[in-house]
Amino acid sequence: MFHHHRLWSLLYSQTPKYHLLRTIHLSFNPFSTATPDSSQQSFTLSYLTNTLGLSPQDALKASKRISFTTPLKPNSVITFFKTHGFSNPQIQSIILKSPKLLSSNPTNTILPKFQFLASKGASPSDIAATVSSDLRKAVEEIKELGFHPSKYNFCVALFAKRAISKSQWNAKVDALKSWGCSEDVILSAFKKQPNFMLRSPDKLNAVMRFWVQELGWDPSLPLAAPDLFGFSLEKRLIPRASVVRYLLSNGLMKKSASLVSPFYPTDELFLQRYVKRFKDEASMLLKLYQGRMLASSGAWISCQNTFCCN
């Protein structure tokens, strides 16, 4: 059985994949022998109540774990959070959990972690909702879904699950189920790529509609390769699908070949593998890929506004 203290030691470890949680929610020893003098505590209490807006009781509790005599550092921390989309209640929640953040340099200690989550597809509001939420409850939810705390994608899944509300989660599940996907298949996709559930229901529906209705392909395939939901329909899925469908219909690609593999390579590599290698068809395929094929050819997949969304 995985014990709570082991779970939290992993979450708050120094490794990059968990360091954000440690930075935001690290609890300091309440039994520290260092005590601020009366003038420091008076200034700290005044700042916590008048500037941060904490209640007198919460301010007193927080002041036992942090003290300062100037507003310079705490102001920079609060400004940082506000700049990144945090509301006042969210900032208060974070500071109550980790008061010593007010004495940190946000550019050096917090910004790199925000950049890490942003690189995984998180918006500022997503990050704000995640780091100010009840992580203990979220951790249990993610464990119940089958994620192991020692694995890299545990932190990504934790963020993705906490970044959206229960109603938003259900709306996305319902959108995918409307295309014949079971909850088990959706959960399996979430385990492979947690970030795919950060896509809007409209984006999920647009990808499935294009894949199933326009292409006539198996609806289970995008869920088996959930990275597809993160690709642009207009810039990647539609142009590449037009090439793949042409290759299939003209016997230039095996019927048993993977239908998802062509969407992963870089543009240059895709052109080498699926366009330029077919010398007699290269000109036709390039026109298809670039979206300049005449409608009379019958090979062009129409890029309607419904599907041209990111």
Same domain, 249 and 206: yes
Q: Which residue has the higher pLDDT, 5 or 286?
A: 286
* The pLDDT of residue 169 is above 60: yes
Same domain, 124 and 10: yes
The predicted structure's pLDDT at residue 115: 79
- pTM score of the predicted model: 0.61
Taking only the tens place, the pLDDT of each residue in 244-276 is 999 999 999 999 999 999 999 999 999 999 999
Q: Is residue 144 one of the residues assigned to a domain?
A: yes
Q: Is residue 96 one of the residues assigned to a domain?
A: yes
Q: What is the mean pLDDT of residues 181-188?
A: 94
Nearest to 257 by CA among 268, 273, 269: 273
- The residue out of 104, 131, 153 marking a domain boundary is 153
Domain count of the fold of the chain: 2
Q: Is residue 279 one of the residues assigned to a domain?
A: yes
Q: Are 163 and 157 in contact (CB under 8 A)?
A: no
Q: Which residue has the higher pLDDT, 86 or 138?
A: 86
* The pLDDT of residue 221 is above 80: yes
> The tokens 């030691």 sit on which residue?
9
Q: Are 280 and 262 in contact (CB under 8 A)?
A: no
Q: Are 150 and 10 in contact (CB under 8 A)?
A: yes
Alpha carbon distance 310, 203 (integer Å): 7
- The residue out of 120, 153, 186 marking a domain boundary is 153
Contacts of 219 (CB under 8 A, 6+ apart): 179, 180, 181, 208, 211, 212
Residues spanned by the domain of 186: 166-297
Alpha carbon distance 49, 55 (integer Å): 6
Residue 234 is given by DSSP the state: I
Q: At what angle do helices 135-144 and 152-163 cross, to 10 degrees?
A: 120
Instruction: Count CB atoms within 10 A of the CB of residue 269.
Output: 10
In 47-123, alpha helices (H): 56-63, 72-83, 88-97, 106-109, 111-119
* The pLDDT of residue 3 is above 80: no
Radius of gyration of the chain (CA): 25
Q: What is the mean pLDDT of residues 28-50?
A: 67
Q: Is residue 100 one of the residues assigned to a domain?
A: yes
Q: Is residue 134 one of the residues assigned to a domain?
A: yes
Contacts of 168 (CB under 8 A, 6+ apart): none
Same domain, 131 and 214: no
Q: Is residue 306 one of the residues assigned to a domain?
A: no
The predicted structure's pLDDT at residue 247: 96
* The pLDDT of residue 309 is above 70: no
Taking only the tens place, the pLDDT of each residue in 81-109 is 888 888 898 899 888 888 888 988 888 87
Same domain, 130 and 177: no
* The pLDDT of residue 202 is above 50: yes
Contacts of 28 (CB under 8 A, 6+ apart): 65, 98, 99, 100
The predicted structure's pLDDT at residue 160: 83
Q: Is residue 19 one of the residues assigned to a domain?
A: yes
Same domain, 98 and 130: yes
The predicted structure's pLDDT at residue 122: 66
Q: Is residue 310 one of the residues assigned to a domain?
A: no
DSSP-assigned states of every residue in 139-183: HHHHHHTT--TTSHHHHHHHHHHHHS-HHHHHHHHHHHHTTT--H
Same domain, 94 and 227: no
Same domain, 281 and 146: no
* The pLDDT of residue 9 is above 60: no
Same domain, 109 and 171: no
Same domain, 275 and 137: no
The predicted structure's pLDDT at residue 307: 38
Alpha carbon distance 307, 310 (integer Å): 9
Same domain, 144 and 177: no
Q: What is the mean pLDDT of residues 19-26?
A: 45
Contacts of 60 (CB under 8 A, 6+ apart): 45
Amino acid at 147: F
Q: Which residue has the higher pLDDT, 201 or 93?
A: 201
- The residue out of 111, 126, 153 marking a domain boundary is 153
Same domain, 192 and 126: no
- What's the gap between Cα 183 and its chain centre? 20
Nearest to 117 by CA among 129, 105, 106, 108: 129
Same domain, 177 and 40: no
